[in-house]
Amino acid sequence: MDVNQYLEIFLDETKEHLESLNTQILSLEQSPEDADTINEIFRAAHSLKGMAGTMGYKRMQALTHDMENVFSEIRNGSMKVTSGLIDILFQCLDALEEYTKCIQETADEGTNENQQLIDQLNDFLKGGGQAETSAEKPKKAKKEAKAETPKEDQKWKAIPLGDPEKHVFAVAKKQGKHVYGLDIRVQETCILKAARAFLVYKAIEEKAEIIVCNPSAQDIEDERFELEFSLIVVAECEIEQIIAAAKNVSEIESVTGDVVDIDVSEYADDKYGKEDDKADTKVAVSQAAQGTAVKQSDKKASKPVVNRTVRVDIEKLDVLMNLVSELIIAKNSLVSASSTETSLGSGFNEQIEYLESVTTNLHESVMKVRMVPIESVVNKFPRMIRDLSKKLDKKMELYMSGEETELDRTVVDEIGDPLMHLLRNSADHGLESAEVRAKRGKPEVGSIFLDAYQDGNNVVIEVRDDGNGIDVEAVKTKAIERGVITPEQGESMNEKDIINLLFHAGFSTAKQISDVSGRGVGLDVVKSKIESLSGEVEVKSKLGEGSTWIIRLPLTLAIIQALMVIVGGEKYAISLGSIQTIEDINPNEIKLVQNREVIHLRGTVIPIIRLSNELDIESTKQDDENMVVVIVKKGERLAGLVVDELIGQQEIVIKSLGKYISKCKIISGATILGDGEVALILDANALI
C-alpha cells in the first residue's frame, strides 16, 4: 500500500504528539494523580500507535503499544507513577523520536528494536510499578517475562493478526494442525536475498501453509526487507521438519520458530489492545480501512486540543514570497520611472501609492503566515532541564515566559540548538552545586529563566540564571593560557570585551569536562548560528549573582526597510533597523583615539568607519568636504559609517548572494533595485 503521500502528515503529527507527550509526562511527574493529564497522555499515545500502525512502522507501533498499556494501567489506577517509570517513559519518547528522525531521513524506521525499553515497560506492567530499574533486575525479569514479551529473536510475534487470520488458526487447531511462527535470517553476504527468500518460501510451502508473512510476500519479492523476515504457518507436521526444510536452502543464516499460542482470551482481557489490534489489522488487510482507523483515533481526540495549526507547505510559501518580491520590484521600477519622467500627471502617483499600500499589506499577511510561535521549540526544554538536573545532580527549575512570541518559521527552526546550548551552559556552568548555593545564601533549587518578547522589529529571547555568573578573571586567565589573547591585550581589555571572549572558538572555562558541556564548541557555534540568522547575542553577568544571555533576532528575514547610500559611485543598502541617526560631520570634528578615528557626538564617543576603505573603493568626496555619517547600533555599541551620499529609504527584498560568494562577511545579501541593478546590503553588525 502506498502511504508515502501521508508521510509528511504522519511526521508532523507524530512530532506534535511526541511534544505533547513530553510536556504531559512532565506534568504527570508533578501531579501523578491528575486524571486529565493521564487521559491526554493516553490519547496521544494511542493516536501515535494508530498512526505508526497505519504507516506500517511495526517497531514504532510495538513500542507505543507497550507504552499505551502502561498508561492504561495508570489510568485504571492499578499502577502508581514513580520517578523510575517516568525516566523510562522519557527514554521511550527519545526512542520514538529516533524512529521519527530515521523515518524523516529515509522513510524507514530503522532496525532498532528497543527491546530493552519494551521489556522494562513490561516489567513495570507486571510489577504494578514496584519493579526496580537497576541494571540486573530487568535482565532477570526479562527471563521471567519471556512468555508474554516478544523476545528479540521472535519477531513473528510482532506480526499483527487480524480476525481472518485468527479464524484460520482456530479452524486449523480444530483440525488438529499446529500454528508455527518462524523467523528466517539470511546471511549478510547473500546477494540475491529475494531469491533465497523465495526458495525458503517454496521449501516451507511443501510442508505447511503460509498464512501471514512479514514483510509482505510482495515486499520480499521486491527485496524490500532487511536480512530477516517472519512467517506464520499452519502445518500438520512438527516444527523441526519445517525448520530443517528451510535450513536446506543455502545462504540462510538461521531459522528459528515456535508454536504460536493464540488464545482469544488473551485479547479479551486487554480491552484497549484488542480494539487497537483490530484497527491496525483492518488497515493492514484492506486499504479502504485506513479511513476507519483515522476516524477511530479522531473520535478519541475529539476534546479540543491545545493548538490547532494550519500546515502550509513551505515551498508554496516561498513561491508566494517570490511573487511578493516581484511585486515590490515592479513597484520600485514604477517609483524610479516616476522620478525620471516628471511630465506624468498626479494620477500616476496615486497609482503608485495604491500599489504601495497593496504590496505592504500583502507583505504583512504573507509574513504572518510564515510566523509561528516559538512554543514548538521551547516546549522541549523543561524536559531537557529535568534530565540535566538528574545528570548533573543539581536541583534546578526552568521558568519560561512568552512562548507565544512569534518568529519567522525559518528562524524558529534554527533557534532551537543555540537556545539549548545556552540552557545547558546555564545549567552546567552557571548554576552552582547545592553546597555552594547554601553557603551563598541562595535557595537550594537553582532557577533558569527563558523569556521571549517582541521589541520593535526584533524578538528578544533571554536566558537567565541565578547562578555563579561569569568569573571575568578566570576567563581572562584562560584566554591567555589558550593563546586567544596575549597578557598585554588582557590588561587593556575591559570586562565586556573579556566576557565576549567566551564566544571565541575553542574556549571553555569549565574546570571539569562533563558530557553536558565543556568541549569548548558551544558558544562560538551559538554565536555564528545566531549571526547567520542576522541576529546578535550578548551577555550580561554579575559574579555571584548570575548571568543573562540576550538573543536579538529580526522578526523577518525576507523584506526589510533600508537606507540606500552611495559609496564611491556604488549603491549600498543599510538595514534601517540598525540605524540610529544620520549626521553631517565636518572633517575637523574627527579626533584620533588610540590611532582610531572617532567623533564626539552629544556626549558619546563614536568610532568612525570609512566605508570606502572597507569596500576597497575610492570615495568621490574631497577630504575637506562635510561627511555624511550614518550612526549604526549593535547592541549597545555605536559606530559611524562614512558614506558619500544618501539616496533615501526603500523597502528592499533580500536575496542571497548564493553559496559561491559566502566569504564576504560585511555583505549580508543583495537586492534588486527598480532599474534592475543589483545593490549589496551592508551588514552593519559585521562592520562594528
Partner 1 sequence: MDELKLAELKSLNETAQYIVIKLGDEQYGIDIKYIDNIVRMQNITRVPKVPEYLKGVINLRGEVIPVMSIRLKMDLPVDEITKATRIIILKLEQHGTIGVIVDEVREVVTLSAENIEKMAYDGKEGKINFVNGVGKHDDELISLLDLNAVVMEK
404 vs 677 by CB, closer to partner 1:
677
522 vs 669 by CB, closer to partner 1:
669
- CB contact at 8 A, 99 and 109: yes
Taking the complex as a whole, the smallest distance from the CB of residue 572 to partner 1 amounts, in Å, to 10
302 vs 660 by CB, closer to partner 1:
660
566 vs 615 by CB, closer to partner 1:
615
Distances (CA, A) of 74 to 39, 125, 612: 10, 10, 71
Residues that bind partner 1 (CB under 8 A): 322, 325-326, 329, 570, 614-617, 655-661, 663-667, 670, 672, 676-680
In angstroms, the CA 156 to CA 331 distance is 66
Upper half-sphere CA count for residue 57 (Cβ side, 13 Å): 34
> Distance between alpha carbon 186 and the CA centroid of its chain, in Å?
37
421 is catalytic: no
Taking the complex as a whole, the smallest distance from the CB of residue 618 to partner 1 amounts, in Å, to 12
73 vs 614 by CB, closer to partner 1:
614
In angstroms, the CA 531 to CA 551 distance is 10
Taking the complex as a whole, the smallest distance from the CB of residue 574 to partner 1 amounts, in Å, to 15
The order of strands in the sheet holding 637-643 is 579-585, 627-634, 637-643, 604-610, 596-601, 590-593
429 is catalytic: no
In angstroms, the CA 243 to CA 532 distance is 60
Record the cell numbers describing residue 527, joined without a space: 554565536
Helix (H) or strand (E) holding 434: helix 434-439
Q: Phi-psi bin for 460: left (phi > 0), alpha (psi -120 to 50), beta?
A: beta
12 vs 675 by CB, closer to partner 1:
675
The active-site residue out of 19, 29, 40, 46 is 46
- Coil, helix or strand for 11? helix
How would you write 319-348 as a 3-class SS string? Answer: HHHHHHHHHHHHHHHHHHHHHHCCCCCHHH
In angstroms, the CA 532 to CA 432 distance is 32
Contacts of 373 (CB under 8 A, 6+ apart): 403, 404, 405, 406, 407, 412
Taking the complex as a whole, the smallest distance from the CB of residue 616 to partner 1 amounts, in Å, to 5
- CB contact at 8 A, 372 and 338: no
In angstroms, the CA 43 to CA 33 distance is 17
Contacts of 435 (CB under 8 A, 6+ apart): none
Taking the complex as a whole, the smallest distance from the CB of residue 319 to partner 1 amounts, in Å, to 12
- 583 - beta bridge partners? 629
In angstroms, the CA 378 to CA 405 distance is 11
The active-site residue out of 16, 29, 40, 68 is 68
- Coil, helix or strand for 295? helix
Contacts of 79 (CB under 8 A, 6+ apart): 70, 73, 124, 125, 128, 129
251 is catalytic: no
77 vs 569 by CB, closer to partner 1:
569
151 vs 610 by CB, closer to partner 1:
610
599 vs 670 by CB, closer to partner 1:
670
Return the active site residues. Answer: 46, 68, 425
